[in-house]
Amino acid sequence: MRSQFGYGAKSQIKRIYQQIVLFGFMAVLVVACNHSSVSETSTSTNCRRVDHLAGETCIPLNPQRPVVLGVPTMANAIFLGVKPVGTILYFDQKAPPPYLEGKLEGIQIVGTGNQPNLEKILILEPDLIIAMNDSELSYDQMSQIAPTVVDNWYGYSDWKEHFNFVAEVLGKTEESKQVWAHYEQRIQELRQALGDNYQDIDVSVVRVCCNNLASDVKNSFSGIILNDVGLRRPPSQDSAPGGLVIFSEELIAEKLDGDIIFAIVDDDDDSEKAFEQLKNDPLWNKLEAVQEGKVYPVNLATWRGGNPLAADAVIDDLFKYLVAGQES
């Protein structure tokens, strides 16, 4: 028995099994590809062509089962009244940011970060895939499963443009006008509530994460919201590629000097530990905002959300700390 079913034989059986599984998966993929091609050809009158980063694609007029490969894309779809059947996440599924609590039910997770799982996507039988250009799957792979569009995502400084792209793809351009009207209304309400009290105040933003310090500058997601509200930023936090400036602890005084500091901290032990260590740094404690007790911790996934749902939550934070705090 040993000679027949030893290590070598087991390895060979394992390889044969893996080949069978792979062959079966590829066969399903080919069928999906052929079905997609036939469907697009035979129902061209029931789809519309959309230009995107990877070319032109005929997509369903009213997608019912979209898979989205980005948290901003997912939140955009939800805000437009479309619940995706699948998404990738950048955070722990069990601990979503507050602005997404209760909104992920019924959405299957098909990967993390920028690494979607092709097999999981295929099982969901989507009628549309919305991807960003940082996905590790190729356009050819995704388009074999369902009509696929790719947005040219340059980072969170493009969050407004990405929302408009998603609205166009989902056929929700009219609904998108209502979303932007809501956003503008909230911005104006906050401007009115702030009045002239912050006209000469510098608002600084520090991100405590990933073994370094950084600042979300003017062209970041939160930076754009602060700018729309009319809040002034320190000169050291002007625009930068990707909306983020990373710096060493020695530059705390130079990069974080401001009358108010919003500290963006992730909901994990490492970030919270790093923030506690920062509080003990002599350079940090020399900052005027620290000495005046005007350092406000906020949620990282929210302040880097890159979508109108998260923007609503950021505006809530600004009301909480700058308006309600001012009145108390």
Domains and CATH numbers, the chain: 43-171 (3.40.50.1980), 195-327 (3.40.50.1980)
Would the pLDDT of 32 be above 80? no
pLDDT of residue 103: 93
pLDDT in tens, 273-283: 888 889 999 99
Chain segment 129-142, per-residue pLDDT in tens = 999 887 778 899 99
pLDDT at 34: 45
Q: Is the pLDDT of residue 312 over 60?
A: yes
- Percent of the chain past pLDDT 90, that is, above it, reads 66
Which amino acid makes up residue 205?
A: V
Cβ–Cβ < 8 Å for 88, 318: no
Q: How confident is the model at residue 46 (pLDDT cuts 50, 70, 90)?
A: confident
Q: What is the pLDDT of residue 44?
A: 54
Number of Cβ atoms within 10 Å of the Cβ of 304: 25
Residue entry with tokens 């923007």: 311
What are the DSSP E strand ranges found in the chain?
Answer: 47-52, 55-60, 66-68, 86-89, 108-112, 115-116, 128-132, 148-151, 203-209, 212-216, 244-247, 260-265, 295-299
Least confident window among 6-20, 74-88, 239-253, 299-313: 6-20
Residue, of 171 and 91, whose pLDDT is higher = 171
